[in-house]
Structure 1
Amino acid sequence: MTPEAVADHIRARTGPAPIEVAIVLGSGLSGLCDAVTGAASLPYATLPGFPMPGVSGHAGQLVVGQLGGRRVAALAGRAHYYESGRPDAMRVALEVVRALGVGTVVLTNAAGALRADLRPGGVMLIADHIGLWAPNPLVGNPSDTGFVDMGAAYDPALRAALAAAAEAEGIALPQGVYAWCSGPSFETPAEIRALRHLGADAVGMSTVPEVILARHLGLRVAGLSIITNMAAGLSDVPLSHAQTQAVAPTGGALVQRILTRWLAGGAPATAP
C-alpha cells in the first residue's frame, strides 16, 4: 500500500481536517497522548508499513486530535535501528506523515547528559547532531536525492519558537548537540569522553535517522531530548532502561507544556 493510500485510510478514520504537526514520542513519553483532545487512535498494526516497536515504553499507536488548539498526529512509539538493523525503519511512517499534508515534525527522545548543567528530568532543545559512525538511512537511495543538505537540519525558526514557548512557560530549555549511538547497550565511559571531545551534549539511540529521512522528504524538523540520566562515567547511578522510563515522564510533562504553548501561538501549518 502506498503512503498516500495509508494516509487516506487514516483520514477515513480520524476525519478529513488538515493535520498540521506530527510529534514522534520517545521512550516513556506516550503520556503526552493523554493531553490530545478529541483523539482518534489507530494501532500501528492497522497501518501497513508502520513499525511495530518492540521496546517497552513505546505504545505503537497513531493518535490524531487537538493539542494547543491545533490538529496534530502523535506517533506514540518508534522503531529503533538496534531492533532490526535497519536505519530506515521509520521511513514509511514519515512518508505517510508527509502524505497527510504535514509540513513539520517534532522528534522527541530520552537521552543521557554529557554536560553538568543538563540534569535528569530536564529538557534539551536539539541544535545539531553527531552520527558519523552509524549507518545512514538513505544508503541505497536510487537517485541523487540522497544528497541532502544537513546544514540546518533542526529548523532555526522552529528552535526559536520552541525556545520562546519554553520561556513563556518558565521552563529552562538549554540547546545542545545530540549524539546518536546505535545501542541497545549503553555507551562506555571512554566513549562518553570521546563524545564530549567531539562536542556532544547529550547521547541517545534514536532520532538522527528520522531527522535525515524527514529532511529528505522536505519536512521541517525540531528535536527535544528529555534528559533521563547522566551518561556513563559521569554518575554513580547504574544505567538501565527502567531508569529511563521512570524519569522520562517528568521531562515529558515539560515537553507537553512547551509544545502546547508553541502550538497555541501558531505552529507552522503548510505542507512541504
Structure 2
Amino acid sequence: MVDYKKLADKILAKAIIKPEIALILGSGLGYITEHFENATIIEYKNIEGLPQSTVEGHKGRFVIGKFQGSSIIAMDGRFHYYEGHHIRDIVMPIYIFKEMDIKRLIITNAAGGINRSFLPGDIVAITDVINLAFKNPLIGPNNEKYGTRFPDMSSVIDQEWLDKVENGATEAGIELKRGTYIWVTGPSYETPAEIKAYELLGADMVGMSTVPEIIAASHCGMRILAFSCITNMASGILDKKLDHQEVVITAQRVRSKFRRIVNIALEAQKGEHV
C-alpha cells in the first residue's frame, strides 16, 4: 500500500509553512496560485509514486503558501481517470492531505452547463453529485485509519460553510448558483442524447473529475466545498461544437470572479473550530 504519511512528510519538508486548507484547481484555474505569498512550488514529477497531470491547463504541481491570510496547499492541476490513472491513484493527494492533518478541502473544476438557466462564466456551488462513471476509489481493502468501510454520502458538502460563502458572495455582488454535478469518465465530450439523459437524472452540470475526490475526502471526514466554473454549455444545449480551448479561455475570462469566491470561502471558515 502507498505510504501517504511518507509522501506528506516529504512535501512538508520542502515547505516554509504548514498548510491548513487544501485547494484543488481545475482546468484553467491555476492562476489563483499566482497570488500566494511565500510560495513553495513542488512539481508532481519530483515526488516518487505520484501520478502526473497531462492535460492542458493543469501545470502539475503543488503550491504551498499564504493566500488571504490562510495557509494553503493547492493542486495546480489534478489527475483524471481518462488519463489512464488507476482510480485509487487519482485520490492519492486527498490521503496525503489527511496525513498533513488538513480538515478542509475546496475543490474547483471546469464544467459543461446542462441547466438551461446557466451561462458560460457562471460559478456554481456543487450541492450534490451523481457518479455516472460507476468508479469508486474506496473499492479494495479499507484502512480504518482514514475512515469507515461504508462512508455516508448523504451530505457531502458542508452546508454551513456553503451558506456563509453564499451570503458573502451576495454581499460582494456576485451571483453564486447551486447545482448537482454529474461525473463521466471522458475524455470524449458527451453526445446530445447523453446530455438529455443526464438532464432527466437531475444533473445541472457535467464534468470529468471531482467526484472521486469528494468520495475520498468524505471517507477522510473532511469538510468540503466544491465549485464549478461553467466554461461551456453541454452538447446539444447550444448548436455548436465543443472544444477544450474554449474551456481554458472561459476559465481565464472569469478569473477575477472565481478568485473572489475562493477568497470568500477562505474568509468564511476563519474562527471556526473543526
Query: Normalized against structure 2, the TM-score is what?
Result: 0.92
Structure 1 pair 47/133, CA: closer, same or farther in 2 (3 Å)? closer
Instruction: Describe the superposition over 1:110-134 as per-residue Cα deviations: whole angstroms up to 9, x where unpaired.
Output: 0010112211011100000111442
Contact 1:102–1:270 under 8 Å retained in 2: no
Q: Check if 1:253 corresponds to 2:256.
A: yes
Give matches, 1:80-229, under 5 Å: 80-84=80-84, 86-142=86-142, 145-229=148-232
Alpha-carbon offset, residue 36 of structure 1? 1.3
Q: Which residue of 1 aligns with 2:15?
A: 14
The Cα of 1:79 is off from its aligned counterpart by 0.8
8 A contact 1:169–1:261 mirrored in 2: no
1:172 CA drift (Å): 0.6
Counterpart of 1:11 in structure 2: which amino acid? L
Structure 2: how far apart are the matches of 1:30 and 1:230? Answer: 22
Q: In the TM superposition, what is the alpha-carbon distance from 1:254 to its structure 2 partner?
A: 1.6
Q: Higher relative CO (CA 8 A, sep ≥ 6), structure 1 or 2? A: 1
Q: CA deviation at 1:168?
A: 2.6
Q: How many residues are matched?
A: 270
Deviation, structure 1 residue 67? 1.2
Q: Which amino acid aligns with 2:130?
A: I
Query: 1:200 is paired with a residue of what secondary structure?
Result: coil
AA of the residue aligned to 1:195:
Y
Q: Show structure 1 runs of 4+ deviating over 4 A.
A: 268-271
Which structure 1 segments of 5+ residues have no match?
Answer: none
One-letter code of the match for 2:174?
Answer: I
Q: CA deviation at 1:270?
A: 5.7
Moved more, 254-263 or 22-31: 254-263
Residue identity matched to 2:9: D
Q: TM-score under structure 1 normalisation?
A: 0.93
Identical columns (%)? 36
The 1-side partners of 2:188 and 2:271 are apart by 37
- Distance, in Å, in 2 between the alignment partners of 1:192 and 1:245 is 21
Partner SS, residue 89 of structure 2: coil
Superposition deviation, residue 167 in structure 1 = 1.6
Letter in 2 for 1:115: N
* C-alpha deviation, 1:269, in angstroms: 6.7
Shift of 1:164: 2.1
Distance 1:124 1:36, change over 3 A: same
| CA positional deviation for 1:268 | 7.2
User: For structure 1, which segment, 135-144 or 194-203, has the greater mean C-alpha deviation from structure 2 after superposition?
Assistant: 135-144
- Residue 20 of structure 1 contacts residue 70 of structure 1 at CA under 8 Å; is this kept in 2? yes
Structure 2 match to 1:74: 74
Q: CA deviation at 1:249?
A: 1.6
Q: CA RMSD in A?
A: 1.8
Quote the Cα distance in structure 1 between the aligned partners of 2:48 and 2:225.
26
CA contact (8 A) 1:226 1:252 kept: no
The farther-off stretch of 206-215 and 145-154 is: 145-154
